[in-house]
Amino acid sequence: MNGETGWPGDGGDDHDSKKGTVAVAGTKNAETFFKTGVCTMLAMGVDVFYFEAFDEKHKEKSKADNGEERNEAHWGAFYDNRTPKFSLACPTFD
């Protein structure tokens, strides 16, 4: 199975913890998602397309499901200057 996955380093739509779901944009959360989610899928042999490689500062804002504007320019694993936001090395799973 092929999939597309990612986590916003900034902007995006933070889900409401009162509803039992928490997904807060941020570089540390993106790193945690990559290390625990993406690396686990790769270790299981799942093909993954990480959305996206680089931040796109020129990208226009989009409207979320609730109608609010969201900044979609910060989904990259790398900043727009091509430096990584965090180590993309996966841990070794035993």
pTM (predicted TM-score): 0.76
Tens of pLDDT, residue by residue over 9-30, are 876 656 665 666 567 788 898 9
Which residues does 36 contact at the CB level (< 8 Å), separation at least 6? none
Tens of pLDDT, residue by residue over 31-65, are 998 999 999 999 998 888 888 899 998 888 877 77
pLDDT on residue 83: 96
Identify the burial level of 75 via C-beta atoms within 10 angstroms of its C-beta, where 0-12 means exposed, 13-18 middle and 19 or more buried.
buried
Q: Determine the distance from the C-alpha atom of residue 45 to the mean position of all C-alpha atoms in its chain, rounded to a whole number.
A: 20
Nearest to 50 by CA among 9, 6, 1, 2: 6
83 neighbors 54 (Cβ within 8 angstroms): no
pLDDT on residue 26: 85
68 neighbors 58 (Cβ within 8 angstroms): no
